[in-house]
C-alpha cells in the first residue's frame, strides 16, 4: 500500500517537472503578477508594505488555480485513473499522494521565489522567511481544496474557469488566516495565533480535500 502511494507520488513529481509538465508556468505567473502590483498601486514603499503581503497571497492562490485543470483530466482521459481505482491502496491515499507531489513541485519553488518577492514588496528582511513559510503552508490548503474542485470538474472540457468558481469559496479561510499572518509578521514578527489558525486550516483542507476528490472521481469513472 505504501509502495503504491510512493509510486504515485514519484510519478506525479516526475511528470510535473518533465517537459510540458507545467510546473514552471504557475511560478512565472506568480512572479509576473506580483511584479504588476507596484505598477498598479504605485512604487510608494509604505503603500507596498501594507498591500504587499496580502497580494502575494492572492497571486499565489491564483497561481495554484492554474495547475488544477489538467490534474485529473489527463488521468481520466488516458485511462490511468482506472488503474488507480484497481490498486489495493485506497483511492483517497493515492489522490493525497498526487496532491503531495503537486505541493512539492509547485509549492516548494513558489515559496522560495516568494522570499525575494516579499522583499521587493518592502517586507522587512526578518519577516520574509516567515512570509515564505506561511505561503508554503497555505499552498497545502489551496491544493487540498483544489484537488476537490479539480476532481469535480475532471470530465468537463476546458474546466479551468469552472474549477475556479468551485474552489474560490474554499480558498477564503486559508487566505484570510494566511494574509493576516503575513501582515502581522511584517508588522510585529511571528504572530502565533494567526499562524496556528493557518496551520489548522491547511491540515483540515489537506486531509478532507483528497476524501472529497476521491468521492468525485469515483462518479466520473462510473
Contact set with other proteins (CB under 8 A):
1, 3-4, 6-8, 11, 14-15, 18-21, 77-80, 82-90, 94, 148, 152-153, 155-156, 159, 162, 165-166, 168-170, 172-173, 176-177, 180, 197, 201, 204, 208, 212, 215-216, 218-222
**Of 47 and 87, which CB lies nearer to other proteins in the complex structure?**
87
- State the nearest-atom distance from the C-beta of 177 to other proteins, in Å: 6
Phi and psi angles of residue 189, each rounded to the nearest 5 degrees, phi first = 85, -170
CB of 45 to other proteins, least distance (A): 25
CB of 62 to other proteins, least distance (A): 16
Name the minimum Å distance from CB 198 to other proteins.
10
Place of cell 512570509: 131
Q: Which is nearer to other proteins, 42 or 79 (CB)?
A: 79
Q: Which is nearer to other proteins, 121 or 154 (CB)?
A: 154
Per-residue three-class SS string for 140-194: HHHHHHHHHHHHHCCCCCCCHHHHHHHHHHHHHHHHHHHHHHHHHHHHHCCCHHH
Nearer to other proteins, 113 or 180 (CB): 180
Our CB check for other proteins shows the closer of 61 and 117 to be 61
Give the shortest CB-138-to-other proteins separation in angstroms: 13
Amino acid at each position: 500500500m505504501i509502495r503504491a502511494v510512493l509510486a504515485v507520488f514519484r510519478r506525479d513529481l516526475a511528470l510535473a517537472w518533465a517537459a510540458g509538465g507545467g510546473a514552471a508556468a504557475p511560478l512565472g505567473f506568480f512572479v509576473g503578477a506580483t511584479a504588476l502590483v507596484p505598477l498598479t498601486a504605485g512604487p510608494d514603499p509604505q503603500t507596498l508594505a501594507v498591500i504587499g503581503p496580502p497580494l502575494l497571497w492572492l497571486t499565489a492562490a491564483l497561481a495554484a488555480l492554474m495547475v488544477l485543470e489538467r490534474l485529473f483530466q489527463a488521468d481520466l482521459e488516458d485511462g490511468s485513473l482506472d488503474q488507480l481505482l484497481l490498486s489495493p491502496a485506497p483511492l483517497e491515499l493515492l489522490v493525497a499522494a498526487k496532491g503531495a507531489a503537486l505541493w512539492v513541485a509547485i509549492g516548494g519553488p513558489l515559496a522560495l521565489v516568494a522570499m525575494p518577492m516579499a522583499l521587493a514588496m518592502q517586507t522587512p528582511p526578518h519577516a520574509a522567511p516567515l512570509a515564505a513559510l506561511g505561503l508554503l503552508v497555505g499552498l497545502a490548503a489551496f491544493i487540498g481544496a483544489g484537488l476537490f474542485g479539480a476532481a469535480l470538474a475532471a470530465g468537463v472540457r476546458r474546466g479551468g474557469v469552472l474549477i475556479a468558481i468551485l474552489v474560490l469559496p474554499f480558498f477564503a479561510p486559508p487566505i484570510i488566516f494566511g494574509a493576516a499572518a503575513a501582515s502581522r509578521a511584517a508588522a510585529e514578527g511571528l504572530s502565533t495565533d494567526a499562524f496556528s489558525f493557518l496551520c489548522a486550516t491547511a491540515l483540515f483542507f489537506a486531509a478532507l480535500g483528497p476524501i472529497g476528490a476521491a468521492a468525485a472521481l469515483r462518479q466520473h469513472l462510473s
